Structure 1
Amino acid sequence: MMFKKFISDVDSFYLTIDRIDQDSEKYEREVDDFPIGMQTMILFKRKELESLQEESEDYQITEEDNLVITLSNKLLESSKLMKKVYDSLNFKKIDDEKIELLSSSPGLMKFIEYKISEDGENLDLFTDRKFTLNSILINYCITLESLVSNLLKDVFIEKLPEEIKNRTIPFHELVNLNSIDDAQNYLIEQYMDDFFRSSFDDWIAKTSKFMKLPQNNIELDDVKSRISEMYQRRNLIIHTNGIVNKQYTNFVKNSKYNQGDTIEVGIDYLRDRLKDMEFLGWHLFSGYCSCLYNDDNAFAALNSEIVKRLNKESVALPLLLDYFSAYNKFSDSSYNLIAKVNYFLYYKFNGEIDKVKDKLNNFSVGHLDTDFKIAKAVLIDEDDLCEQIQKYIDDLSDEDFFIVSTFPIFRSSRNWISIKEIFNQRLKEVFD
């Protein structure tokens, strides 16, 4: 399923960002062992930064700047040669965009130039790092568009909107189509090819309408706004080498960047936008399910994916589960209760159960089926939990036991090892 791929891609992005972050820490530990040419490039960067700070009191330190400062400080403390190189350097401004580095020791600079040549290429680790971070941002946009494209195609196949129905097929294409389904798929592909040529704001507004996403939702609207800025930043990276233009400042209100600034894509920024993208992805998938299924089955499809992620930090999941716990259109009210249990379970898996302690204490289960009584007993880790579960398991048929044994809630208990033994014993009895 396309949504599973989206979530898998999100996880891969998190891992990649973590590795880059770890590389930054690794650079700090190993900078003393870098080739002289690479060490010198770090000092050049430091001098350029000092020039920018001297030129403007309002200059804002970037994530990359902080790394330059950290690495150069360590070099200046540990290497007499690098201290001598640094002290010999001064800068001369050629124009608004270019700074020329000069040295008071021509002989020393001749030696450094020789070492840079001897060490070879790829000495500027900041250029490689910047390229990688920019590439990740561009791939965020590709991943999100791929998800939306695939979700919408399924929705359109189920019910073709008027704006696609009213499209025409050229005769030379029509003769190659063998059926109505072929014609429908052609029109959908043609529509989707044009769809993403508009701005993010335009196509996400259309997508929200097709998917019937909630209107005037503060959290969702804020996420869309931040992703819109991400797309504008993507455009700068591709078209202006990151230099802020008038289009960016017109689109992005209250930005810290001014026209002519160089925009940065840092690790913290990428993490934040990935959280936003995941948030939007979950809401799109929820809307997708509601387009294809009735209310009960839509939640069942959504929940089957949610339970796989309850142990991972997410802004979207507790909001969605809280919404569906109070949803009044289910024909089977047990879906409200499942949503409520999973809402609490999300917080328990993530070590934040105290945040919803009052709500959990007020969750009355005395009138409910045994399944929900056991669920609350697990959530609050009642003292006699193992005894309750033993009795609960003993009363289940073999078929029901197989189903219950897959419920993730039991793994959240601090008594999981003992509970696991109860399950294993029952499983042994089933097959003996």
Structure 2
Amino acid sequence: MLDSNPTNKNWEIPTLITNFTNRLEAIKFSFETILEFIELNQNKLDEEWTNLVHPLLTQEKTETEIKVKLQVPFDQLPHFKKVSKSSLNYGLSSPLVKRTFIISLVSEFDIFLSQLIRIVFYIKPEILNALDKQISFKQILEFDSLDSVKEYILEKEIETILRESHTEHFKWLETKINIGTLRKFDTKVWEDFIELTERRNLFVHCDGIVSSQYVKVCKENSVHHIESIEVGKKLDVNKEYFHKAYSSVYEISIKLAHTIWRKLKPEEREEADADLNNLGFKLITEEEYNLAIILLNFALSEPIIKKSNLQAKFLFILNKAQALKWSGQVGEMEKLIHEQDWSVCSDEMNLAKAVLLDEFDKAAKFMELIGNNPEKLSIISYRQWPIFKKFRQTQQFKETYQKIFNEPFEMVTEISPLIVGADKEEE
């Protein structure tokens, strides 16, 4: 049997999630950076082209029309051609580059999915053991151990699964893990995800030109507005579409991984809750509020969160509340907070609640109750947590902070150079 507890941490779900989200964020960063560079240089080139061409234009009037001629001096012709070629290259590069990033998003999901399926086999080796696979005696002799044979069969099975459509991938997981909700997280994100994967296929195989297969698959999955897209139309990518695609891949992957994790490893529920809360918190610090709210709604849904785990539940609530507040949905934030019974919560939780409601006098009193107690709330938390960012600007906070820690609060934070880039992928 395959080892159900592999020592390699790269084959654990939390490590997979961390590596995947880091890579996805790198794609988003690259998209924004490269597009900004292309647009900046395109604008400079347009200005150079205008300045180059304008003095060379002449007008010729006739009785019926005005003809515009471009006369390029021979000695300026090489530079003229160079600028013209560069302008053409930039005009072509922008749509090509944007397509490439859509292809990269889907490729990262496929890599993530193959690794997730491998983890499923590790956790539930009986799935692999139940496969009716044939292998010749000659092939067996080429392996040095039975484990190598099993690894070969595993690789072949994963390859077989991944040759199918993305819909079939989810169906396979539903059947093997006995979960019936993987495609029902949110019908909208499923529609967006399927359209994205089909558009990726168009970019790879058809130069972005809509095929009957694209329309068929999108209709089968009730993709919104598919009726308005005709066969033969050429699809492209703009910034809005990329960010929607990024969010849908991020959302559906995290929900998939956490659903499987909690199903196959129920004893790791506390670790899974902490991982999901940390992910929501990370998105908040990066000001990805809408995506944070989506994942925190998922975290608070049944059967993800158990009512017995009040600590995790209230951390999810506080993170969702601050995401709502910082995204301008103050009314929704207040409604969420007032729906809860905070009498069962710690002073730290009630401090966070008071801060979110802008009850700063009350918040200062909770700070004094907690005191200088790193086990409850560290000085770093007061200085860096986004939930305190408005409170930190008040006189109540500064006075109470100095009273507790015997030092003035300065809006400056030193970051050790050793910390920078510390969250890279694990080797």
- TM-score, with length taken from structure 1: 0.71
The CA deviation string for residues 336-376 of structure 1, in whole angstroms up to 9 with x for no partner, is 22222222132234443333222223333124332322221
Match for residue 12 of structure 2? none
Pairing 1:415–2:388 present: no
Give structure 2 stretches of 5+ with no counterpart. Answer: 1-14, 61-66, 220-225, 408-427
Aligned partner of 1:200 in structure 2 is 166
How much does 1:154 deviate? 1.4
Give the match for residue 242 of structure 1.
Answer: 208
> What does residue 273 of structure 2 align with?
299
Q: Is the 8 A contact 1:325 1:338 kept in 2?
A: no
Query: How far 1:289 moved relative to its partner?
Result: 2.5
Q: Which residue of the partner structure matches residue 417 of structure 2?
A: none
Q: Residue 267 of structure 1 is aligned with which of 239, 242, 247?
A: 239
Distance 1:331 1:187, change over 3 A: farther
Report the AA paired with residue 142 of structure 1: S
Check conservation: 1:232, 1:248, Cα contact below 8 A.
Answer: yes
Question: What are the superposed Cα offsets for residues 289-332 of structure 1, whole Å, 9 maximum, x if unpaired?
Answer: 31334334432332233322223325453244334436464543
Deviates more, 1:225-234 or 1:110-119: 110-119
**1:141 correspondence with 2:155:** no
- Aligned twin of 1:335: 312
- Partner of residue 30, structure 2: 16
8 Å Cα contact 2:58/2:71 also seen in 1: no
CA contact (8 A) 1:236 1:242 kept: yes
Matches of 1:180 and 1:282, distance apart in 2: 34
Letter of the 2:272 counterpart: A
Alpha-carbon shift at residue 121 of structure 1 (Å): 4.5
Evaluate the alpha carbon distance shift between residue 272 and residue 400 of structure 1 in structure 2; reply closer, same or farther with a 3 A threshold: closer
Take 1:365 and 1:272, find their aligned partners in 2: how far apart are those partners?
36
SS in 1 for 2:371: helix
Q: Cα 1:255–1:321, aligned 2, differ >3 Å: closer, same or farther?
A: same
Contact kept, 8 Å, 2:350 with 2:366, in 1: the verdict is: no
- Structure 2 counterpart of 1:12, one-letter code: A
Deviations 1:221-270 (A, max 9, x none): 32222222222222222222222222223223325332222222222221
1:165 corresponds, among 119, 126, 130, to 130
Give the gaps of 5 or more residues in structure 1: 41-78, 86-103
Who is 2:255 aligned against? 283
Contact 1:374 1:389 in 2 (8 A): yes
From the superposition, tell whether residues 243 and 206 of structure 1 become closer, same or farther in structure 2 (CA, over 3 Å).
same
Deviations 1:156-178 (A, max 9, x none): 20113536631344434434555
Match of 1:325 in 2: 300
CA contact (8 A) 2:199 2:208 kept: yes
Q: CA offsets per residue over residues 142-196 of structure 1, 9 Å max, x none?
A: 1111111222211220113536631344434434555554444333222112222
CA distance in 2, matches of 1:152, 1:348: 37
1:232 alignment partner, one of 198, 201, 210:
198
- 1:366 aligned counterpart, secondary structure: helix
Compute the displacement of 1:217 (Å): 6.7
Q: Percent identity?
A: 17
Give, in angstroms, the shift of residue 29 of structure 1. 4.4
Matches of 2:375 and 2:397, distance apart in 1: 19
Residues 215 and 31 (structure 1), Cα distance of their counterparts in 2 relative to 1, 3 Å cut: same
Cα distance between partner residues in 2 of 1:362 and 1:35: 61
The residue type equivalent to 1:171 in the other structure is: F
Amino acid at match of 2:249: M
Structure 1: distance between partners of 2:70 and 2:308: 84
SS in 1 for 2:359: coil
Instruction: Give the letter for the 1:306 counterpart.
Output: G
**Partners of 1:162 and 1:348 in 2: how far apart?**
45
Match of 2:342, SS state, is: coil
Match of 2:421?
Answer: none
SS in 1 for 2:343: coil
**Match in the other structure for 1:50:** none
- The AA in structure 2 aligned to 1:318 is I
Take 1:423 and 1:108, find their aligned partners in 2: how far apart are those partners? 73
Q: Does 1:382 align with 2:396?
A: no
Shift of 1:218: 5.8
Q: Deviations over 1:391-415 (max 9, x none)?
A: 2125x4x544559948975643422
CA distance in 1, matches of 2:70, 2:390: 68
Give the SS at the match of 2:322.
helix
The verdict on how the C-alpha distance between 1:414 and 1:129 changes in structure 2, with shifts beyond 3 A counting, is same
SS of equivalent to 2:282: helix
Answer yes or no: is the 8 Å Cα contact 2:58–2:70 preserved in 1: no
> What is the 5 A alignment of 1:203-214?
203-209=169-175
CA distance in 2, matches of 1:175, 1:407: 62
Please tell me the residue identity of whatever aligns with 1:192.
I
Hey, what does 1:2 align to over in structure 2? 16
Residue 260 of structure 1 aligns to a residue whose secondary structure is coil
Shift of 1:279: 1.3
CA distance in structure 1 between the aligned counterparts of 2:59 and 2:107, rounded to whole angstroms: 47
Judging changes above 3 Å, is the alpha-carbon distance between structure 1 residues 225 and 83 closer, same or farther for their aligned structure 2 residues? farther
Residues 404 and 413 of structure 1, relative CA distance in 2, 3 Å threshold:
same
Name the structure 1 match of 2:340.
363
Task: Specify the alignment match of 1:189 in structure 2.
Answer: 155
1:345 to 314, 322, 329: 322
User: Is the aligned partner of 1:130 residue 2:103?
Assistant: no
Greater CA deviation, 229-238 or 291-300?
A: 291-300
Is the Cα–Cα contact under 8 Å of residues 243 and 262 in structure 1 kept in the other structure?
yes
Report the CA distance between 1:132 and its aligned residue. 0.8
Match status 1:393 vs 2:371: yes
Q: Deviations over 1:16-73 (max 9, x none)?
A: 333355346535743443347x998xxxxxxxxxxxxxxxxxxxxxxxxxxxxxxxxx
2: CA distance, partners of 1:210 / 1:83:
74
User: Which whole-Å deviations, capped at 9, do the CAs of 1:84-134 have from their partners, x for residues lacking one?
Assistant: 79xxxxxxxxxxxxxxxxxx8898599898765455744411211122112
- Rounded Cα–Cα distance in structure 2 between residues aligned with 1:250 and 1:83: 54
